[in-house]
Amino acid sequence: MPRTLTPETHYIRELHGAQDDLLLGINHALADIGMSIQIGPEEGRLLQVLIALSGVKTIVEIGTLAGYSALWMARALPAGGHLTTINKDPAHIALARGFFAQSEVGDRITMLEGDAHHVLSTLHGPFDMIFIDADKISYNDYLDWAEKNIRKGGLIVADNTLLHGTIATPPPHENTSPAAWKQMRRFNERLADRSKYDGIVIPTSEGMSVAIKLF
């Protein structure tokens, strides 16, 4: 879904969202294949600030697409930091590999190929941060993994938690299944449990949830 940005988001993007040729190239490549669903540059900056704030050194990203958010995050890591990202689609894997190879942070990124449910079962923490941005219906499965593999005090971050503008009203919705809606509501409720998380939904254009894992 193409995003409609508010004037304020345009302003923030202009102020904070400068992109180099590599990031711009990813945007163009995704637009060419009709897949402009990556995070915005202002959200890339948000991820970078979160990484700096929390002293994150190890990240697991679920859902690479062409590597746009991975590059924003890898660029914010300190020396010795590492990002593991999971990618399923062969065409997207090829795109992302090319972009990582062109970047100055390719050695900080490991891309694992396959379905995230399977790949995650092979990944054992503790990691500092997880960024969930894959199939929306599986967010609770990914949170189950994060609860076991993100360190106490680590960050759980998730894109699209306002579910393309549908989250506040019950189904039916035109482009979102009732099952996905139910799953995202549950996911958001889990992160709102103050006995387990210190969290909030940041009202970016798509909703970006951020939660500190307290246990």
Alpha helices (H) in the chain, listed in sequence order: 7-16, 21-32, 41-54, 68-76, 90-102, 116-121, 139-149, 178-191
List the single partner that 164 binds among ligand DHB, Mg ion, none, CB under 5 to 8 Å by kind: ligand DHB
Tokens of 129: 């941060």
The answer to whether 159 contacts Mg ion (rule: CB under 5 A) is yes
75 binds, among Mg ion, ligand DHB, none (CB under 5 to 8 A by kind): none
Q: How far is the CB of 121 from Mg ion (least distance, A)?
A: 23
Give ∠ CA 106-74-143 in degrees, rounded to 5: 120
Residues 75, 105 contacting (CB under 8 angstroms): yes
Starting at the edge strand that comes first in sequence, how are the strands of the sheet with 208-213 ordered?
A: 109-113, 82-87, 58-62, 127-132, 150-159, 208-213, 197-202
Could you say whether residue 43 binds Mg ion (CB under 5 A)? no
CB of 103 to ligand DHB, least distance (A): 21
Pick the binder of Mg ion from 58, 84, 160, 188 (CB under 5 A).
160
Q: Which partner from the list Mg ion, ligand DHB, none does 42 bind, CB cut-off 5 to 8 Å by kind?
A: none
Q: Does 176 bind Mg ion (CB under 5 A)?
A: no
Interactions with Mg ion, residue window 106-135 (CB under 5 A) = 133
Neighbours of 193 (CB within 10 A): 11
116: Cβ contacts below 8 Å, ≥ 6 apart: 62, 63, 86, 88, 134, 135, 138, 142
Contact by Cβ (8 Å): 201, 168: no
Looking at beta carbons only, is 1 or 91 nearer to ligand DHB? Answer: 1
CB nearer to Mg ion: give 64 or 160: 160
Nearer Cβ to Mg ion (3/57): 3
Closest to Mg ion by CB, 151 vs 200, is 200
User: Which residues here bind ligand DHB, judged by CB under 6 A?
Assistant: 1, 37, 133, 159-160, 164, 206
| Binding positions for Mg ion, rule: CB under 5 A | 133, 159-160
